[in-house]
Every structure is written in structure tokens, then in C-alpha cells.
Amino acid sequence: MGIGFPEAYGGVEADLFYGWVATEELCRAGSGGLMAGLLSHTIGAPPIANIGSDELKSRVLPGILSGEKISCLAITEPTGGSDVANLQTTARREGDHYIVNGAKTFITSGIRADYYTVAVRTGGEGIGGISLLLMEKDTPGFTKESIKKMGWWCSDTATLYFEDCKVPAHNLIGEENEGFMGIMLNFNSERVFLAGQALGLAKTCLHEATEWAKERQTFGKSLIHRQVIRHKLADMQMRILATEAFLEKTIWKVEEGLMPVTDVCLLKNQATQTLEFCAKEAVQILGGMGYSRGTKVERIYRETKVLSIGGGAEEIMKELAVKQMGL
């Protein structure tokens, strides 16, 4: 739970390569919902660790990193997701509190969370008026509604509603009206993590398809001896190896202190497209079993689209990439 967080608060000091290894191991279970449910704190807690006050870190991080408390991130709104600069949820300062009004949606761990890192508008229009607040689950005026999804069943997702919610001013994360950069830094690490998750699940698809092809007999031979099946497996491996090299290079750049925004955006698309291809081919190789509940590839196939949408949709990633390329 504490990988990549400060040791002083119960974390384990580690780089992104270490996090990638842990992600791939979790992917062996073949459940993106498992990872989303267990690790929503990896997007909810970094702003606290990176820009929060010492008092706030000491108060909330130990419980989160021990697994006793659940942390989540609340940015996306019913009126938009990737267009963070135009978010509508407001927070008005009154004495020692902020009064929050608005709504968030598609929030991972939104029902079960104890701590909510909420993006709010405390100033004028655009990126200069955005702040981050830590809201606690029992705040009066704070209600939630569960969302049923195609996949990620074991990870709860919710719409959140704020009606005159009073949040203590000391729960401000960082400085007022300076929350946008904290959000953007969070997005970059989240996108690298999502790429690693897509790659790990693609590898699981290849493994499951290969094992099935070795066991399944057709017309006196196992599927693995059929050229068309062997070529499918080769095509899956080709895309996996290319994505793995891209991920390794991008992580190296980040660890060197660079800000490879173009690479991060294109990597996320490359990885999710690799997963979609591998999941499709794995289901095809397993045939009827691939379409049946209870197999890893059936579950992964249903879950592919959430990775190409969450953390920045594929189309948004392309647009961010070309802007960084000066086009």
C-alpha cells in the first residue's frame, strides 16, 4: 500500500520501476477492478504527500498507507472530465471553513472512501482559480450514489454531491488557487500507472491464451500446433514487447527528472491499444470459454475500455501529445 510514499508516514521509498513490478504482479489475477479498489489511494493521496502541509500529512497518510483508511480522488464532474480548467464545483471561504457546492462523478472508491481529495474552484475562471481540499466521508451535506459498470465490479464507482458542505480550512491541500499543477503532476503518474496496468493485463491474456492453446484439442491436435493460432500469439507478443520498451523508456525519463508529456500520452494509448488487441485475440483463441464468465480473458475483455477512457481519454491524449510536439 505504501509503495512510492514517504517512509516517515508508513510508506516505502521506491521509484516508478518498483511500482511497475508491483503492478504486473497484481495483473496476474486478471482483474482491473481489484487494482482499482485496492489502489485508489495512489491517485487520491499523492497530492497530500506532495503539496500538503506537515500537519495534514501526519494526520491522514499513516492511516491511508496502512490500509486502515481509503483515499480517493474527485476531479471529474457531470459536465466534463479532462477539461479540468473549467470545473464547476465551488468552495467559498467563510471564516475557518470552506463551503463546498457541486458534484463529481465516475469517482473510484467513491462510496467506501474515508478521505476525498476534491478539486474545487476557489477563485476566478481557468486554471488559476482551482484548489484541492480534503473532504472526510461524514461531512454534513455530502451524499453519494453508486454507479453500475460494465467491468471493474469489485471496485466501487460513484457520483458525489456536495450541498453546503463545511470543510475545515486546514484541510486545504497546498496553497489556495494553486491546485492545478498538483492535479497535472498526478495525471502524469496516473497515466504511467495505467499504461503499466494495461501491459500487465495484456501479458496475462497472452499467458492464458497460450496455456489454453496447449491443452485444447481440435481434430487430433492441440491448438498450439495450428499455424493461425501460433501467429495470433506472435502478434500479441510483438505488441507487448514494443509497449514494454516504450514504458521502460518513459519511466526512465521521468526518473531522470524530465517531463515527457508527449511520451506519457502516447504511451497510454499504445498500452491500452495493445491490451485491446491482446484481449480480443485471447477471447477468440479460447472460443466459447473466452465468452464465458469465470475466465480471466472474459473479464479483461470487458474491462479494456475503462483504461482507454480513464485518466484521460484516447482522443485527449492525442491532442495533448500534438500540442507538446508544437503542432
Residues with active-site annotation: 190
Task: Give 30-54 as a DSSP string.
Answer: --HHHHHHH-THHHHSHHHHHHS-H
- Distance from chain centroid for Cα 303: 13
Q: How far is CA 152 from CA 54, 112, 282, in A?
A: 34, 15, 19
Task: Give bridge partners of residue 165 from the DSSP assignment.
Answer: 100
Element (H, E) at 271: helix 261-286
Q: How many CB atoms lie within 10 A of CB 88?
A: 13
167: closest CA among 192, 197, 145, 142? 142
104: closest CA among 63, 64, 69, 132? 132
Task: Give bridge partners of residue 293 from the DSSP assignment.
Answer: none
CA atoms of 152 and 154, how far apart (whole Å): 6
Residues in Cβ contact with 124 at an 8 Å cutoff, skipping those fewer than 6 apart: none
Q: How far is CA 297 from CA 14, 231, 288, 320, in A?
A: 31, 18, 11, 31
CA atoms of 174 and 19, how far apart (whole Å): 25
User: Residue 119: helix, strand or coil by DSSP?
Assistant: strand
C-alpha cell at 124: 476566478
CB 184 within 8 A of CB 50: no
